[in-house]
Structure 1
């Protein structure tokens, strides 16, 4: 018999799925923000995200965490360079997310998000030495079949695809390696991007355009709010989940985008879509079955066994993924 798969926090799975839903919604916003170009959108988006995160820190009274991180950066100056590098990697992804839908590279970006989870699984095995259960291996193989079909249909890989598939894993590995995977680090990363926002909005002034178009104001506010919430959930999931599971759960987003396209946007289902998305859906079903196996129906526990279990948390077989 196989050894039971270590259980994972349900909060991590909920955070990952919630982030996928939010990012699927965000992807539909940039085309409605014309005539703003991708750099202007990114400039406003960074400002809005910093504002919303700062407000959240005030409400949650988390400024002590930010102060502690600043003190750590002062004590170890090389971490400042790491944080700036992480900010650049994140900023590149934010720019791509706004640029691709406006420039006709939405499919290239979507393909990058299809390949990304597979890269994350490879990283989990090679870098973090994670062991994959049989069901998780089967899920990865199903997803790989769908991704292979997508690459063939797309006629190969283009640079936006590679930037997504390789850039985000590097970002997450860097954050974990230097213990910069907190909400405070996210706030400082975005704060480090503010000079870019000021530069872009100075070189390409657009404030008059935004002020006289309430639609743009509403869209930018919504973009900033959803971005802050989505990245908070995404980074929470990356911190508490095993890297392999975090990666494979990334397939929830493209599946949701397909469902939205079919049900709300009226786009037809092409025969080729079957070879791409059905294997990915099969992989997600396998993950759901694995999760169900991890959490069987609760049984009554004798009082003495319950007490011993409480005194020995290691007996629970749970793996803490928090940094």
Structure 2
């Protein structure tokens, strides 16, 4: 069972890494329009999936719970906006040829989670967490000095996804219902943009481009569903190790496939970030093992 969870987790993070290549295949479509199609087809795919998988009764039950608690509905609307910002930033940054910035965003994302938990949930930041966050700040500052620009895309990706995750923890629904509701919230805005503002109109692209745009719903939903299964079957610590597969794949794509500039100075900056990750992972693992021994 545990090994199955690891396989699900690895599959999810590998697919999230490969999505970088998927957006590169879509040419001649603006990032905003691509995001709108991603929302539209993700919603369509999720409705089909819920019906065919037999999860429709669970979906309707969770919808009723959301309707009974209006504060959950408000949080879902905020979550939908945040994930849309995350998706747009991802697609825009990849399309602009800055895959390395995307990689950086997902490297620092776990540490941003810890930072937000400390600031918002008033959780105590461990010694290793403090050191790790310090190393990451040094790395980001070094990158900003070397490139002459603050890595806004990386920070938007990390913080939007972290705040999104923080909000989702407060809403007692499954990831299937969550994605369906989030895409439904943004669906009217996406349709309005496509129908009224898109220069090409609805799906008026070459056949291969239309197929890729429709497939955006599939490549969005499948990794999320795999991750949900992984989270049920394996430990949080194990998933903590696996999550770095995604940004590592992106970094390798950026350097060896897309030939983005990767100087010694940038390597040094990333080195501080990797050092922060090592310290954080070591501290988290050690703490979990101590807790396990106390329980036993």
The whole-number CA distance in structure 2 between the counterparts of 1:247 and 1:146 is 21
Cα shift at 1:35:
1.5
2:201 aligned with 1:206, yes or no?
yes
Superimposed CA distance per residue, residues 57-89 of structure 1 (whole angstroms, 9 cap, x where no aligned partner): 223211122111111122222322221111111
Structure 2 counterparts to residues 53-132 of structure 1, below 5 A: 53-103=46-96, 106=99, 108-126=101-119, 127=121, 129=123
CA–CA distance in 2 between the matches of 1:235 and 1:96? 23
Work out whether 1:183 is the aligned partner of 2:176: yes
TM-score by length of structure 1 reads 0.70
| TM superposition shift of 1:50 | 1.6
User: What is the CA deviation profile of residues 210-252 of structure 1, one whole-angstrom value per residue up to 9, with x for unaligned ones?
Assistant: 2xx232033223332111122334566678865x986776543
Tell me the C-alpha RMSD between the 2 structures.
4.0
**How many residues in Structure 1 have an aligned counterpart in Structure 2?**
288
Q: State the alpha-carbon separation in 1 of the partners of residues 144 and 3 from structure 2.
A: 32
Correspondent of 2:21 among 4, 20, 28:
28
Residues 131/96 of structure 1: CA separation in 2 closer, same or farther (3 Å cut): closer
Is the 8 Å Cα contact of residues 38 and 216 (structure 2) preserved in structure 1? yes
Verify the 8 A CA contact 2:101 2:151 in the aligned structure 1: yes
TM-superposed CA distance for 1:56, in Å, is: 2.3
CA distance in structure 2 between the partners assigned to 1:245 and 1:131 by the alignment: 20
1:172–1:238 Cα change, 3 Å: farther
List alignment gaps of at least 5 residues for structure 1.
Answer: 1-8, 296-313, 319-323
Compare CA radii of gyration and give the structure with the larger one: 1
TM-score in terms of structure 2 length: 0.76
Moved more, 228-237 or 190-199: 228-237
Offset of 1:42 from its aligned partner?
1.4
The 1:92/1:118 distance shift into structure 2, 3 A limit, reads same
Give 1:44's aligned residue.
Answer: 37
Query: Residues 115 and 145 (structure 1 numbering): CA distance in 2 closer, same or farther, change over 3 Å?
Result: same
